[in-house]
């Protein structure tokens, strides 16, 4: 069974070190996001990606989704401190997103797929929620030893991720390294 991130350590997810290794502006330039879209941040955690998404989507909406209420509460606090009003917080289960069919333009799964009990179920549920012309951006860890990140045996290498994404009904558009330890797989529905 995959190891879940402990919400007691959520401050690590908001650290200055993480901001140095994950440039949100660069990330936003790599995905086909448009300011009027609706986007779901699946596994939003304490809002590391939710806040920049909400700022970018000034004419759109962010659905911040997580299975842990403590993470949703932290994300809500982060969003409120920035006085953003275009975010809706939704508690989910691992197998069911609280979204209507084809209700969002894009989905971000940042470092959460490797925690899922079923990669396939989560990807298929994500596909159900994304419009037919929509996109999917997955950020994950390379399968390399490192001082941070999930256990090595839990990590999903980018080629394997591309196969999982394709099997779930998406079309892989690109794969690229974000830094030495992390990568992005971009797909379309």
SS (H, E, C) 126-182: HHHHEEEEEEEEEEEECCCCCCCCCCHHHCCCHHHHHHHHHHCCCEEEEEEECCCCE
Answer for the pair 164, 120: CB distance below 8 angstroms, yes or no: yes
Among left, alpha and beta (phi > 0; psi -120 to 50; other), residue 169 is left
Bigger pLDDT: 23 vs 127: 127
- Distance (Å) of CA 147 to CA 54, 68, 110, 157: 31, 25, 19, 17
- With both helix axes pointing from N to C terminus, report the angle between 119-129 and 158-167 in degrees, rounded to the nearest 10: 60
Q: Is the pTM of this model over 0.85?
A: yes
Which tokens sit at 1?
A: 């069974």
Range 34-188: architecture per CATH: 3-Layer(aba) Sandwich (3.40)
Which of 109, 110, 113, 104 has the alpha carbon at shortest distance from 132? 104
Which of 168, 166, 119 has the alpha carbon at shortest distance from 140? 119
Compute the average pLDDT of residues 51-70. Answer: 97
pLDDT of residue 86: 98
pLDDT tens column, 122-147: 999 999 999 999 999 999 999 998 88
Q: Is the pLDDT of residue 29 over 90?
A: yes
Q: Model confidence at 21, in pLDDT bands (50, 70, 90)?
A: confident
Answer for the pair 41, 62: CB distance below 8 angstroms, yes or no: yes
Residue count of the chain: 189
pLDDT tens column, 2-17: 777 878 887 878 777 7
Which of 123, 131, 153 has the alpha carbon at shortest distance from 43? 123
pLDDT of residue 44: 97
| CB half-sphere exposure, 37, CA atoms < 13 A | 21
pLDDT tens column, 64-121: 999 999 999 999 999 999 999 999 999 999 889 999 999 999 999 999 999 999 999 9
User: 143: which residues sit within 8 A by CB, 6+ positions away?
Assistant: 152, 155, 156, 157
């Amino acid at each position: 069974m995959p190891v879940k991130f402990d919400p007691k350590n959520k401050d690590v997810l908001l650290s200055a070190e993480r901001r140095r290794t994950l440039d949100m502006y660069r990330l936003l330039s790599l995905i086909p996001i448009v300011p009027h879209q609706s986007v779901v941040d699946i596994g939003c955690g304490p809002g590391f990606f939710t806040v920049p998404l909400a700022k970018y989507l000034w004419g759109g909406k962010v659905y911040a989704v997580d299975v842990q209420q403590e993470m949703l509460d932290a994300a809500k606090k982060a969003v409120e401190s920035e006085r953003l009003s275009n975010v809706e917080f939704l508690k989910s289960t691992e197998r069911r997103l609280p979204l209507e069919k084809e209700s969002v333009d894009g989905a971000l799964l940042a470092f959460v797929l490797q925690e899922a009990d079923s990669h396939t179920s989560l990807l298929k549920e994500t596909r159900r929620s994304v419009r037919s012309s929509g996109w999917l951006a997955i950020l994950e860890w390379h399968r390399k030893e490192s001082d941070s990140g999930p256990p090595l045996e839990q990590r999903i290498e980018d080629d394997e991720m591309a196969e999982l994404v394709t099997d779930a009904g998406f079309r892989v558009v690109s794969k690229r390294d974000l830094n030495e330890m992390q990568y992005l797989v971009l797909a379309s529905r």
